[in-house]
Amino acid sequence: MSDARQETTLVLGGTGKTGRRVVERLRTRDLPVRVGSRQGEPPFDWDETDTWAPALRGVTSAYISFVPDVAVPGAAATVEALAELAVASGVRRLVLLSGRGELEAGRAEQAVQAAGAEWTIVRCSWFNQNFSEGFFLEPIRSGELALPVDTVPEPFVDAEDIADVAVAALTEDRHAGHVYELTGPRLLRFEQAVEEIERASGRPVGFVPLSIDDYVSAVAEQGTPDEVVWLMRYLFTEVLDGRNAQLADGVQRALGREPRGFGDYAERTAATGVWAERVAGEAYSAAS
């Protein structure tokens, strides 16, 4: 980019796990950034297409994080429509947060690649922060996490690394045309991840395997939207089948350093007190 300080980046999902970290990094550099969210100015809503053009006005680069997840049916068509409008509006660089081993995510990647702008794909699976900023937080604080998983390991990736790669792709020319698969430095079973959280937090956290039907029923009973319930079943039955049980070098290729480890994440997060036992009656909220 010729003069990054004069060019605005739109961060879709700008209040979520990765998006807010991207926003923070861009602001730290004093780079113009627009938060793409329902509360943004102007607001952006994936389900309200009339909000798209105002959010894209004057933007030259965009970080695309689809909500609830790029794996859900229909996500690729929506991402395609957004990417085409972005390019027509003058956006010259697109960075897509994609999913590893997900069919619909692959279609979204193809749509971004064909939109006519410079593109970078940041491909990930399970985040470390799912345990502290998502559905897993409340069970961990309550002392027991029950999930429909067995012995399949996952190369959990840190959202801090995702944000570092995304910002590099948004602000440096050399990442155009690259697909970066991001993982952590080792494979961990979910049970092992919980054990690391237990050690770091200094309080007991049990792990209980259960059937996918029991898990999905429990999620649905909590009032979870249907598309998220579908996503949980899909992720635990299809994506978490061993297809992603291998390390990738995306962090090393993009940043020239090793990825952050789960143990470091657990220590950092435990120090914030987020995993402390929840007080009765305390309100619960988790970042999307």
Q: What is the DSSP string of 201-253?
A: HTS--EEEE--HHHHHHHHHHTT--HHHHHHHHHIIIIITSSTT-S---HHHH
Q: Which of these CATH numbers, 3.30.565.10, 1.10.8.100, 3.40.50.300, 3.40.50.720, describes 4-128+156-181? A: 3.40.50.720
What's the whole-number average pLDDT of the chain? 93
Q: What is the CA radius of gyration of the chain?
A: 19
At residue 220, what are phi and psi to the nearest 5 degrees? -65, -40
At residue 282, the pLDDT reads 46
Q: What is residue 286's predicted lDDT score, i.e. its pLDDT?
A: 36
pLDDT in tens, 144-162: 999 999 899 999 999 999 9
Quick one: which H or E segment has residue 148?
Answer: none
With a pLDDT cut of 70, the percent of the chain lying above it is: 94
Task: Calculate mean pLDDT across residues 7-26.
Answer: 97
CA pair distance 55, 37, nearest whole angstrom = 9
Question: At 18, is the pLDDT very low, low, confident or very high (cuts 50, 70, 90)?
Answer: very high
Cα–Cα distance measured from residue 271 to residue 288, given in angstroms and rounded to the nearest whole number:
21
Q: How far apart are CA 185 and CA 82, in angstroms?
A: 33
pTM for the model: 0.93
Sort residue 70 into left (φ over 0), alpha (ψ -120 to 50) or beta: alpha
* DSSP conformation class of 258: P
Q: Tell me which H or E stretch contains 86.
A: helix 75-88
Q: Locate 238 and state its tokens.
A: 């299809």
Q: What is the pLDDT of residues 53-103, one digit of tens each?
A: 999 999 999 999 999 999 999 999 999 999 999 999 999 999 999 999 999
Cα separation of 139 and 95, whole Å?
Answer: 33
| In the chain, domain spans | 4-128+156-181
Distance between CA atoms of residues 263 and 183, nearest Å:
14
pLDDT digits (tens, 9 = 90+) for 120-153: 999 999 999 999 998 899 999 999 999 999 899 9
- Helices and strands (DSSP H and E) totals, the chain: 11, 10
